[in-house]
Structure 1
Amino acid sequence: MTDNQTAPRPFSGLRVVDFSTLIAGPYGTRYLADLGAEVIKIETPEGDYLRTQAPLRDGHSTYFGQLNCGKKSVALNLKDPDTIAELKKLIATADVLVENFRPGVMARFGLDFETLAALNPRLIYCSVSGFGQGGLGAGRPAYAQTIHATSGLELVNLRYQDELTRPANSCLFYADVLSAVYAFSAINAALYHREKTGKGQFIDVSLLESTMNLMPYDVQEAQFPAPISRPVYKPVRSSDGFVILMPNTQRNFVQMVQAMGHPEWAEDERFCDVMARYNNYPALLAQLETWTMQHTSVECEEILTAASVPCARYRTIAEALEDPLFAERGAFQTVSDPAGEYLVTNLPFKMSQAETAAVPTVSEVGEYKLSDFL
């Protein structure tokens, strides 16, 4: 293995002009910065809205920093024709442009793909939007939560709950993060394609389709309804919280009941094979809970993991952050802004010949000028 502290970053020398705001676009371009790209973040003089969002320390948002570390901020008025003319000079030197305005906005600025591709035929131009750049949904406003509702994601989740009478409150931005990952992936593919052809291209990423890709089983089951609903792995109570048990295979199930001291459960006709357990899943969970309730969550996890049974206790994020596994993996990077230091997640992969950790700085609004890059 190469010492990654001194290894090069794969996209060193790549220039990215980033017009995106909030989550979907900025997270994708942060991944490019992690891999060494020079990401020039174009902001209004007021800055990206997320700069104002908690958690805040001395007016500096760590939420913003998680999504934008490693970039270089340039504050511009995009309604000024002279500014647009200077921007076009910058984009003529760029490899990638990313934007997540509502469709049509970049064209009104004179920064649409056709115009810019004429200036820079090698430009890879990635647009991220709720419903895609054309067609019936293009003009619809979209945020992650509305996409979750539109895609069916929230009612899929509701279908598998025991007690909810309405869709769960929406607090995680699946659509945004998935779209960031798909934009990042598409840009990588387009860069490879450009190596072979010398040509840039336009990429159209939609939050709606990104979210649909999260649900392969449910997309198929909606077309071909199953006679019996699939079993859903549910939390079971421990003496001090909850754990989840995943005895997927017959071997796992036998290992689990032996570790619990109840090998006879494997002989019970209701649980003796996969199909029997499939048809009697609520009864099985009730039986398993008679054992888990006698143990703490930590004890359940330790006993069953030692028996090679997939099991996990439910932890808070704060508890998870203390897991030594993350330190061992180098899963977090310490970054800094004028208010101090904090941790952000790194890309969830390592490369033997390249550095992939987040760049440990967060640019202030307008810290750089266009002239710095021309």
Structure 2
Amino acid sequence: MTALPPLDGIRVIDLSRVLAGPYCTALLSDAGADVVKIESEHGEDSRHLGPFRDGESIYFNVLNRGKRSVALNLKNDGDREALLTLIETADVVVENFRPGVTKRLGIDYEAARARNPRIVYASISGFGQDGPMSGAAAYDLVVQALSGIMSITGSEESGPTRLGESFGDLVAGLFAAWGISTALLSARASGLGQHLDVAMFDSMLAMLPTAHSQLQSTGLTPPRVGNRHPVSTPFDTYKADDGLFVLAVASQSGFEKLAQTMNRVDLIADPRFADDTARTENEPALRKEIENWAAGKTVADVVDILGDAGLAGSEIWDVQQALTSAQAEYRGVVESFEHPVAGKISYVRQPVVFGDSRRPDVRRSPLLDEHHGEVLPGSR
């Protein structure tokens, strides 16, 4: 028999804004949680961030799918009490105010725990709830710059380069969702919740295992190497007649198979390419051999040849190609809902397939304060 969605019956109070927190709670909603989004009377900040359609922020509606909206003025005693009463019925609180703000408002973890000892309270911030930078303003760009990720992204010519999405926010939201799920298991066993301190900076540092390994091995700061892998070769973008393709070889057997596929078995015995370290040291020479082989072939031809040989290679898709691909359609990761103002809005659901649990029904994003009477009956 198909089970209920994994987080069915879990209630989440979402006090967060813009990206890290809303992304976290969207993941929880996708897994079946009841997410109640608390907004100001003017609406959460991202309602006013583009891109827009018919006056509605697509960005907001993608990130806040499946949630219910209640507008409260948290500086008002009555509304603050309404929130704390709501927390008594909840399992999780998520907030991403600057450290210290929730305490000033009287809605911090201590206030929540006094009402509900089982509450799991996640605080997402740039640099953590304490420490030398806890009070610093943090946006994704700042965290990417300080985490080291920009120093290893791009080429020597481009200089330090920001990743193409706001990964500082997204990774923090992902770790927050993981932490919440873990803490809920602990609360089930102990009857007690806990405060989760999730920092964007910490989360980005956790994304650097290869660079950290290089630093420890050589004592040198890893350089920018463009699209190629810093350790394994060939592992990069290469030119064919009509564009670029990617090729990823990370083993000796894979390199030997590539040489055979190229009809260049002589490369296997070439001391410049004897092992991964040698190939990386002689990367320009190996690149020349690969691109000479690919000359006269289209990207599609190259990808077919590599695929037939069991090698990892592909063309490079843009965002539209990826989202509308047969692979994405088959996996069912792109879902959509009808918004009463903006019309059809598509989004990428959380990607984990829970084999024995049914997927929650698609639920649209909320209008501002749409569910006030439903969540807080009689409060107005």
The counterpart of 1:361, out of the listed 361, 364, 371, is 364
What is the distance in 1 between the residues matched to 2:46 and 2:240? 39
Contact residue 20 and residue 99 of structure 1 kept, 8 A: yes
| Structure 2 residue 7 is matched with structure 1 residue 11 | yes
Contact residue 242 and residue 314 of structure 1 kept, 8 A: yes
Give aligned-pair identity as a percent: 34
2:157 maps to which of 159, 163, 169: 163
User: What is the distance in 1 between the residues matched to 2:356 and 2:265?
Assistant: 48
* Alignment partners' CA distance in 2, 1:240 and 1:347: 35
Deviation at 1:172, TM superposition (A): 1.5
Matching of residues 153-192 of structure 1 within 5 Å: 153-158=149-154, 161-164=155-158, 166-169=159-162, 171-192=164-185
Q: How far off is 1:282 after superposition?
A: 1.6
Match of 1:41 in 2: 37
Question: Residue 175 and residue 234 in structure 1: after superposition, are their counterparts in 2 closer, same or farther (change >3 A)?
Answer: same
Contact 1:86 1:370 in 2 (8 A): no
Equivalent pair of 2:143/2:201 in contact (CA under 8 Å): yes
Q: Specify whether residues 62 and 311 from structure 1 end up closer, same or farther in structure 2 by C-alpha distance, changes over 3 A only.
A: same
Are the aligned partners of 2:334 and 2:349 in contact in 1 as well (CA < 8 Å)? yes
Among candidates 239, 260, 273, match of residue 241 of structure 2: 239
What is the identity, as a one-letter code, of the residue corresponding to 2:116? Answer: N
SS in 2 for 1:108: helix
The range that moved more, 268-277 or 245-254, is: 268-277
Matches within 5 A, 1:218-257: 218-225=211-218, 230-231=230-231, 233-257=235-259
Kept in 2, the 8 Å contact 1:236–1:285? The answer is yes
Question: Contact 1:69–1:362 (CA<8 Å) still a contact in 2?
Answer: yes
Q: Say which of 272, 275, 282 aligns to 1:273.
A: 275
Question: Could you report, residue by residue, the CA deviation over 1:153-206 in whole angstroms, capped at 9, with x for unpaired residues?
Answer: 111224xx2432x32255411111111110001001110001110101110000
Q: Cα deviations across residues 3-47 of structure 1 (Å, max 9, x unaligned)?
A: 6xxx52111111110000111100111111111111000111221
1:262 paired to 2:264? yes
Q: Which residue is equivalent to 1:122?
A: 118
Matched to 1:104, the amino acid is: G
Whether contact under 8 Å (2:141, 2:162) holds in the other structure is no
Distance 2:265 2:96 in 1: 56
Equivalent residue for 2:195?
202
Residues 273 and 88 of structure 1: is their aligned pair in 2 closer, same or farther, counting only changes over 3 Å? closer
- Larger mean CA deviation between 336-345 and 92-101 belongs to 336-345
Alpha-carbon distance in 1 for matches of 2:277, 2:22:
46
**Aligned residue-pair number:** 367
Amino acid in the other structure paired with 1:146: V
**Aligned residue in 2 for 1:352:** 355
- Alignment check: 8 A CA contact 1:87 1:370 kept: no
What amino acid sits opposite 1:163 in the alignment?
E
Return the alpha-carbon distance in structure 2 between the equivalents of residues 50 and 293 of structure 1: 48
Indicate conservation of the 8 Å contact 1:238/1:295, yes or no: yes
Ranked by relative contact order (alpha carbons within 8 Å, sequence separation 6 or more), the top structure is 1
Residue aligned with 2:273, SS: coil
Structure 1, residues 240-277: CA drift from partner, whole Å, max 9, x if none? 22111112112211222222233332233322433432
- Aligned partners of 1:190, 1:170: CA distance in 2, in Å? 30
User: What's the CA shift string for 1:81-137, capped at 9, x where partnerless?
Assistant: 111111111111111000000001111110011121111111111000000001211
Task: Please show how residues 260-339 of structure 1 align to structure 2 within 5 Å.
Answer: 260-338=262-340, 339=342
